[in-house]
Amino acid sequence: MSKERFDFNAGLKRKLTIAFIVGAVLLLVGAILPSGGHESEEHGEGDHTELASAGDHGDGHATAEKKESHGDEHGADAGHEASEDGHGEEASHGGWWKRFKIDFWINNVYFTGIALIGLFFFAIQYAAQAGWSTYILRIPLSLASWILPAGILMLVTFLFFNHDIFHWTHSDLYDTASSHFDSIIAGKSNFFFLPLEGGSFPVFFVLRMVVFFAAWYFLFNKLKSLSSMEDELGGTSYWYKMRRNSVAFLLVFAVSSSVSAWDWIMSIDTHWFSTMFGWYVFASWFVTGLALITLITVLLKEAGYLAQVTVNHLHDLGKFVFAFSIFWTYVWFSQFLLIYYANIPEESVYFVERFLSDKYAPVFFVNLIMNFFFPFLCLMTRDAKRLNVFLKIACIVIILGHWMDFYLMITPGTLGAEGGFGLTEIGMYLMFGSVFLFVVLRALSSMALVPKNHPMLEEAKHHHI
């Protein structure tokens, strides 16, 4: 057991390289095809009319003003960028380059969340003094290896693409003499720009991003270092140190995860807010991370690793995936029901854009099917949580389904009627996913697959439910 290591061999690297190349090809084909490989322009125009009328009906004050200024400015930006980059045809069919930037942001947020959940799951086990999960602890810890690349990509993406992603970054929204002046957004300027004036460089926003990633990466390195030292030197002192650092991470994560959700996603729809949104994003991240941890565990076991992991350990993982799929649905339904029942225009417009649009309504329902109905029915029985085939199918559907969830959170507020789902989105996901897995699997192969001197190995060995 002490010498068991994951072999990140040439065959696996070749498969990830092929996946990356396939993603790149799909991305390029999406750039060549009209509308990035999805429905026709005529459909998009009809949908634009529906979205506009729905928005006007929902809020003649905030929403119409937002959409009008958003359309004027970003439509001009998209056309300008398209002409500069030689994509005039794509611009007339929905703006492939703009979709590229939005998809980049979606994948940034999605995979950052999975990395954070890996560290969150690892820290929870130590804070709760759990022993059942000892054999699989290195898997979530390896997921957190993506935190540093995620931080770099997130910061660079914001610095270069911020005007296309965040409506509040446009300076004329804060100029009282401008026809695009927005009193609601201007009232939130300190949250983004403090200590500078609204419309300048968003110091406070960028500072939060840098501080969060720095804190996450520092605590990840600390926990990883202590885990490696425990392998080499043994004893219980490192376990206690990891427990203290795990508690510190959980305290940081409790605040930073919610604020990150507000910054990176909710601020896209600047006129809309939900007091449940931090929980909603956490729930989506958490169940995705749990599904990936479970999927990797099952695949490793099938490949001959983790011989000590039994159906009892898999059952616990399956219960977590099942339970938090229901938790995500609970938060989703609570947010939807409160907004639907109150029917306040500035709140309901968020769901009007997604539920009543021909472009996004199919994704709206696919989101519910993939993230609640399917895993609920698939993992309901005890036996299903103990069988590899059911766990693999459910976890793959959840991992893909929650990418759709983040797509639905971000795309309508950024692209509106220009949004779509096609080869561009699939290609970007494959490219991000292959690089993410490369980093994770390389980290997993750099240490013993099972922490050999963990003080709770015996408890994990006799775990039975």
Best CA proximity match to 121, nearest among 138, 108, 106, 107: 138
Spatial separation of the C-alpha atoms in residues 200 and 390, rounded to whole Å = 52
β-bridge partners, 5: 448
Residue 202 has pLDDT above 50, yes or no: yes
Cβ proximity of 143 and 440 under 8 Å: yes
Q: Residue written as tokens 């059911």?
A: 390
Q: What is the pLDDT of residue 53?
A: 39
Q: Supply the pLDDT for residue 38.
A: 57
User: What pLDDT digit, counting tens, does each position of 137-146 carry?
Assistant: 999 999 999 9
Predicted local confidence at residue 165, as pLDDT: 96
Peptide bond preceding 362: is omega within 30 degrees of 0, i.e. cis?
no
pLDDT at residue 304, as a whole number: 93
Is the pLDDT score of 372 beyond 50?
yes
Mean of per-residue pLDDT scores for the chain: 88
pLDDT above 90: residue 60: no
Sign of CA dihedral 426, 434, 122, 321: positive
Q: Which two tokens stand for residue 263?
A: 């910054």
DSSP state of 7: -
pLDDT at site 37? 58
**pLDDT of amino acid 70:** 44
Q: What is the pLDDT of residue 36?
A: 57
Q: Residues of 189-224 as b/e, b for ≥16 C-beta within 10 angstroms?
A: bebbbeeeebbeebebbbebbeebbebbbebbebbb
- Give per-residue pLDDT as tens, 206-265: 999 999 999 999 999 999 999 999 999 988 999 999 999 999 999 999 999 999 999 999
pLDDT in tens, 82-132: 334 433 443 334 489 999 999 999 999 999 999 999 999 999 999 999 999
- Give tens-digit pLDDT for 421-442: 999 999 999 999 999 999 999 9
Q: What is the mean pLDDT of residues 371-400?
A: 97
Amino acid 35: pLDDT: 63
**Residue 378: per-residue pLDDT:** 96
Mean pLDDT computed over 338-362: 92
Residue 49 has pLDDT above 60, yes or no: no
- For 461, what's the count of Cα atoms within 13 Å in the CB-facing half-sphere? 9
pLDDT, mean of residues 178-194:
95
Residue-level pLDDT at 259: 97
Mean pLDDT of 182-199: 94
- pLDDT tens for residues 267-299? 999 999 999 999 999 999 999 999 999 999 999
pLDDT reading at 59 higher than 70: no
CA distances from 425 to 168, 192, 296 (A): 25, 29, 24
